[in-house]
Every structure is written in structure tokens, then in C-alpha cells.
């Protein structure tokens, strides 16, 4: 992190929407909630974050535009008859490719909207570079005199807590490729930044069903981060010093707001047919884009107690394609679908019953509620006093109502502008990065070790010959267990090892993660090798059994540091675990 931080700049790289925010050190010292950001404009849309959409030129490496501008530029290219747009690279909602990938390769490709591949690292870094440069330009415009140097800026990049270690490292490397210095960069977990910011807000900035909102020491609450792509859930306790302790490992799934968009797409396909809708999607990108921008506006007003019909303008191009493909009158055709009593066409307006629009939220809401109910079976989770809902999808009245009615005895808190809470919290985290004291391990971590072979305990297939008799290879030596609470920036208890052969002048450690609590061997199901560390043995004058090496792990931020110490000489080797191989 920057040694003389004058400014903290944060980037929230979301599945559907992304944005940036910042604050100067003097602003933070006066009022930590004073945070600058920008508004983004696209047609009728005005939003606090921009669509995560990027357009890259045909040379496959030059950035062209981002957000609403990228959407508009690509639709204009597509409106020409020469198919020029097919040479360009158009990516949207591509962040989800990193979700759930434990064994991620840093050279993985991502496909654009027309299935053209590019290195994912290139696409992510181009977006981060744009966000960085856009923010710095805005900051420069605000400075009447003087300037901020690169080393005076602390950068924070947010990631979902449910992401794998490899995905988090991938984002760090993409940010470094985008021109952010590694030592000036912090990776922050989204539910944690939300907690950090909401604890600073006055009561009037919260929306809840009655009573006072409090995050005083001893408070235990669930953070439900409902974004575009994922639902990210964890449980926090406020410690006596005001810092956070994670009580339950982060969990969730791909049930965010994009599931509602997908349900809307399937609804339209059921009206017009898949061939018609896909042709419309390809041939009339501008109309398709406008249709979904309108839906984005409409879906924000859909509420359980609102039974008014929803009107959506139907592009003439969609109607023409339908009648060209089918030879039928669209109005009559809609009357033949299962929605005949719930959907009507008047001129260029689709009139849709509220019940149909509400049903689009069913899958996302049911998956989320079911998961929270399952979590409530855990004694730690049952101790919560409130649920803090953050993220853009948390602004949905449908989701809010479902959480409140499903958990009537728990206070539900929704901060004002819930979609910006994570981003603003990331800025606060950048000023005070030690706000979190404990996290719960998502995996069991350990190293491989070799011990004397015991025929009663060990698999014969693991037997190897050593200088002083048979040895058992590939044993999993556990340091921390999945679900265990680990103090951040504090080394684990050291484990000691000795070389297996007299001739050894170094000891190698392979670091592993496992989804099992207590794996026997590093080759068991659920075990993945994360990295490798070699410790040179400087003192070779003593017998093998006196050349011991002590090994420990330190969990800090979103990284794991390993320390190996040669006991006799004190020689220390340190390394950051490389999750990308």
C-alpha cells in the first residue's frame, strides 16, 4: 500500500454494472462518508454505475469504449449493412466466467458476443485501465492546483467473497497489467466493504421495518450482497475494538439480478419463438439494446403490492421479423400462447400483467431464500440480529419483500443507494485496511509431507524407499481447517520437517487447498496444489535429523504468505502462494 496515501481510489468491477469512487485523506479524516463518484448516462438511463460492457477494436488489443458508450457504438456499427461490427470485439457481463473456478489458468480466454475469443486477462485489464484513467481525469479536474503522484494513491479493487483464491489473484494481476502498482493495490471482499461503510451511516440513511439500526460491539448480523451475477452471503460480528470478525464462511451462488433478465428473455422467446428472437438480437442490436434498457427501468418499480400492468414498447423490427418468419399476425399469435390472458398487443405496446412480471423474479428469489434458510440451520447463523442487504439487486422491492416475509423475526436493513455501498465501503477500507480481524477459512490448507511408512496406517501405493527405510509419500499435513476462524496477519503454529535423504541440500514444500476437512493424502478428491516453495539448507555439516526446517502460513487480506525457517541457521524464505500455477 502507498506509504504516503493522499487519496484512496476504488473500483467496483461488477457483473452487470461497474463504477469507481475516491476520497482524499483530508476528506476521510473530516467525514469518512464523503466520497466522490460519477453518474453515467445512456439514453433514458441515468445510473451511478455503468454497464460492464467493453468494445475492443478489430486489432484485438486496442480499447475503444466502455459502458453505455460501448453499447451505443456497437449498435451503430451493427446497423451498417457491411457487417463491420463482426470484426470488433464486444464483451458484456463477462465477469461471471471467473465464478466458481478453483483451478483457474491465467491464460484463459473469454468469448465476446459473437464467440470470438480473446485472452481474459486482456479484456479485464483494459476495463480496469479505462476505469483508472477515467477516475484520474476526474480527480485532476477537481484539483485547482498541485497534483497527485502515483505513489500517493492507494487502490482498492472489490471481488465477491465467494470467489476462489485463484479468481482473486487473477483480478490482482489484471489490475497490475492495467498500470496499478502491485504494492499500492488492495483486493477487498465485497460483503466486508459493505459492512465497513454501513457502520458509518447515520440511522436516517437506513431503511428498515422499525426500530433503531445499530452495529455496536457484539452485534452479529448477516450481510446479503445481492449483485447482478451472484448472491454473496456472510456473517459478521463487531468486536470490542470496532473491527470485524467473520463468523461463517462466505457462501452463495449465481442467483443475482441477471437471472431476472434471463427470465425476461425466456418470456419473450415464448411469445415470439426462439428463431425470431435470436434473429432480432443479431440483426437489430440497437432495438434489442433499447428494449432491455427499458426493461431495466421498469423492473425497478415491480413490487409485490403493485398490480398495475407493465407497458413495454415493442420495436417495429421485432414485429416485422416475426411476421416475416411466421406469416402470422403477431397480435393473433400472442393470443395462441400460454400468456393469452395476461399479455396483449396494442399498436407498438406490449401490455403485460403484473403477475407475469413478478414471476420473472421467482428463480433468483427462491434460490436466495432457500440458501439463507439452509444457513439458518447453523448455530452461528441463527444468532444474527439482522440482515444487511446491499448490492444493486437488493434495491429490488421483490427481493426485499421476500427476505422480510421469510424471516419475520429478524430485522432487515437496506441502506440508501444499496448498489453503491460496496464501492464506497471499498474507499473506506483503503483508508483503514485493518478493519477486518478474522476470517473463516473456505478451504483446508496444508502441505505435503513424507514420514516413515506404517503398514497399518498408510496406503501401500504411497510407499517409497528412503535412506533409512521405507517412507510414506503425499501425506496432507494440515495447518488450518475449512470453517476455522483465522486471525489475519498472524502466522499459524510452525510445523517442523527434516530432509528425507542425507544428500539433500534443500527442502521443497507443495502448498495445497482442499474442500475436505481432514484429507489423508494430497491426492485425495478435493485437493488442489496451489504453489511450491523451496528452502535451501545452508548448514550441511550436521546429520540429516538435525537439519530441521520450520514452516508456517499467514493469512492476510486475500493472500496467503508462507514462511520457511531453517532452524539452526535462522535462514528465512518467504513467498506469496501463487494460485494461478
CATH number for the domain that contains residue 55: 3.30.420.40
The SS3 assignment for 234 reads strand
Instruction: Quote the DSSP letter at residue 227.
Output: -
Domain final position from 340, 359, 378: 359
Does 431 reside within a domain?
A: no
d(Cα 443, Cα 45) in Å, to the nearest integer?
42
pTM score, whole prediction: 0.88
Does 401 reside within a domain?
A: no
Q: Is residue 207 over pLDDT 60?
A: no
CATH number of the domain that residue 566 is part of: 2.60.34.10
Does 505 reside within a domain?
A: yes
Find the domain containing 154 and state its range: 7-192
Does 477 reside within a domain?
A: yes
Place of cell 460492464: 52
The SS3 assignment for 579 reads coil
With cut-offs at 50, 70 and 90, classify the pLDDT of residue 12: very high
The SS3 assignment for 380 reads helix
**Domain shared by 34 and 154, yes or no:** yes
Task: Break the chain down into helix, strand, coil percent, rounded to 5.
Answer: 35, 30, 35
**Domain shared by 343 and 473, yes or no:** no
* Confidence (pLDDT) at 101: 64
C-alpha cell at 424: 464506497
d(Cα 398, Cα 259) in Å, to the nearest integer?
13
Comparing 319-323, 374-378, 576-580, the range with the smallest average pLDDT is: 576-580
Mean pLDDT taken over the chain: 90
Helix axes 274-283, 285-299, angle to 10 degrees: 110
Beta bridge partners of 412: 387
Domain final position from 330, 359, 388: 359
Strands (E), 25-141: 36-37, 40-42, 45-47, 50-51, 53-56, 63-66, 89-92, 109-111, 117-119
Whether 161 and 232 have beta carbons less than 8 Å apart is answered as yes
Percent of the chain residues past pLDDT 90, beyond the cut: 69
Does 232 reside within a domain?
A: no
Domain count, the chain: 3
**Domain shared by 27 and 171, yes or no:** yes
417-421: Cβ within 8 A, 24+ apart = 417/48, 418/389, 418/390, 418/391, 418/392, 418/394, 419/17, 419/48, 419/49, 419/391, 419/392, 419/394, 419/395, 420/19, 420/21, 420/37, 420/48, 420/49, 421/193, 421/194, 421/197, 421/198, 421/390, 421/391
Whether 545 and 497 have beta carbons less than 8 Å apart is answered as no
With cut-offs at 50, 70 and 90, classify the pLDDT of residue 504: confident
Domain final position from 359, 380, 403: 359
**Domain shared by 453 and 553, yes or no:** yes
**Domain shared by 317 and 465, yes or no:** no
Q: Is residue 536 over pLDDT 50?
A: yes
Does 405 reside within a domain?
A: no
**Domain shared by 183 and 299, yes or no:** no
Does 102 reside within a domain?
A: yes
With cut-offs at 50, 70 and 90, classify the pLDDT of residue 203: low
**Domain shared by 333 and 469, yes or no:** no
Average pLDDT of the segment spanning 21-39? 93
d(Cα 125, Cα 390) in Å, to the nearest integer?
26
C-alpha cell at 272: 415470439
404, with CB counted inside 10 A (0-12, 13-18, 19+), is middle
Q: Is residue 522 over pLDDT 90?
A: yes
Does 233 reside within a domain?
A: no
Whether 184 and 154 have beta carbons less than 8 Å apart is answered as yes
Tens of pLDDT, residue by residue over 40-78, are 988 777 788 999 999 999 999 999 999 999 999 999 998
Amino acid at each position: 500500500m502507498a506509504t504516503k496515501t493522499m487519496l484512496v481510489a476504488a473500483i467496483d468491477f461488477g457483473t452487470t454494472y461497474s463504477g469507481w469512487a475516491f476520497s482524499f485523506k483530508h476528506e476521510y479524516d473530516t467525514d469518512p462518508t464523503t466520497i466522490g463518484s460519477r453518474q453515467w448516462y445512456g439514453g433514458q438511463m441515468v445510473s451511478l454505475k455503468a454497464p460492464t460492457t467493453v468494445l475492443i477494436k478489430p486489432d484485438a488489443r486496442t480499447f475503444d469504449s466502455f459502458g453505455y458508450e460501448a453499447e451505443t457504438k456497437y449498435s451503430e456499427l451493427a446497423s451498417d449493412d457491411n457487417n463491420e461490427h463482426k470484426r470488433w470485439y464486444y464483451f458484456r457481463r463477462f465477469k461471471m466466467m471467473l465464478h466458481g473456478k478453483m483451478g483457474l489458468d491465467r491464460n484463459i480466454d473469454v468469448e465476446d458476443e459473437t464467440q470470438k475469443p480473446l485472452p481474459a486477462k486482456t479484456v479485464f485489464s483494459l476495463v480496469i485501465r479505462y476505469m483508472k484513467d477515467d477516475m484520474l481525469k476526474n480527480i485532476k479536474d477537481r484539483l485547482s492546483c498541485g497534483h497527485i503522484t502515483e505513489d500517493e494513491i492507494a487502490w482498492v479493487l472489490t471481488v465477491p467473497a465467494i470467489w476462489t483464491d485463484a479468481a482473486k489473484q487473477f483480478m490482482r494481476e489484471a489490475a497490475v497489467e492495467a498500470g496499478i502498482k502491485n504494492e499500492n493495490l488492495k483486493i477487498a471482499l465485497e460483503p466486508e466493504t459493505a459492512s465497513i461503510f454501513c457502520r458509518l451511516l447515520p440511522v436516517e440513511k437506513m431503511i428498515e421495518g422499525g426500530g433503531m439500526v445499530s452495529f455496536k460491539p457484539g452485534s452479529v448480523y448477516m450481510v446479503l450482497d445481492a449483485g447482478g451475477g451472484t448472491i454473496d452471503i456472510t456473517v459478521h460480528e463487531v468486536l470490542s475494538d470496532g473491527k470485524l470478525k467473520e463468523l461463517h464462511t462466505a457462501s452463495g451462488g449465481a442467483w443475482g439480478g441477471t437471472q431476472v433478465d434471463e427470465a425476461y428473455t425466456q418470456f419473450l422467446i415464448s411469445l415470439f419463438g426462439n428463431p425470431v428472437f435470436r434473429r432480432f438480437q443479431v440483426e437489430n442490436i440497437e432495438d434489442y439494446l433499447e428494449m432491455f434498457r427499458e426493461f431495466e427501468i421498469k423492473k425497478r418499480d415491480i413490487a409485490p403490492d403493485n398490480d398495475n400492468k407493465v407497458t413495454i414498447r415493442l420495436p417495429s423490427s421485432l414485429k416485422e421479423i416475426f411476421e416475416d418468419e411466421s406469416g402470422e399476425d403477431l397480435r393473433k399469435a400472442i393470443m395462441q400462447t400460454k400468456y393469452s390472458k395476461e399479455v396483449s398487443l396494442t399498436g407498438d405496446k406490449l401490455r403485460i400483467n403484473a403477475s407475469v412480471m413478478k414471476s420473472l423474479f421467482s428463480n433468483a428469489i427462491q434460490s436466495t431464500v432457500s440458501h439463507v434458510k439452509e444457513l439458518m440451520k447453523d448455530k452461528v447463523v441463527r444468532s444474527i440480529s439482522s440482515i444487511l442487504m446491499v448490492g444493486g439487486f437488493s434495491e429490488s422491492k421483490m427481493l426485499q419483500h421476500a427476505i422480510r416475509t421469510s424471516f419475520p423475526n429478524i430485522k432487515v436493513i437496506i441502506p440508501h443507494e444499496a448498489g453503491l455501498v460496496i464501492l464506497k465501503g471499498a474507499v473506506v477500507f483503503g483508508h483503514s485496511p485493518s478493519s477486518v480481524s478474522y476470517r473463516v477459512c473456505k478451504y483446508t490448507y496444508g502441505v505435503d509431507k513424507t514420514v516413515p511408512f506404517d503398514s497399518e496406517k498408510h496406503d501401500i501405493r504411497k510407499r517409497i524407499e528412503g535412506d533409512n527405510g521405507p517412507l510414506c509419500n503425499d501425506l496432507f499435513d494440515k495447518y488450518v481447517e475449512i470453517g476455522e476462524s483465522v486471525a489475519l496477519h498472524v502466522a499459524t503454529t510452525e510445523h517442523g520437517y527434516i530432509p528425507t535423504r542425507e544428500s539433500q541440500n534443500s527442502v521443497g514444500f507443495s502448498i495445497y487447498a482442499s474442500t475436505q476437512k481432514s484429507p489423508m493424502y494430497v491426492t485425495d478428491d478435493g485437493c488442489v496444489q496451489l504453489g511450491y516453495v523451496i528452502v535451501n539448507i545452508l548448514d550441511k555439516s550436521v546429520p540429516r535429523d538435525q537439519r530441521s526446517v520450520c514452516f508456517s502460513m499467514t493469512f492476510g487480506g486475500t493472500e496467503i504468505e508462507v514462511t520457511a525457517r531453517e532452524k539452526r541457521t535462522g535462514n528465512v524464505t518467504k513467498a506469496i502462494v501463487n494460485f494461478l500455477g
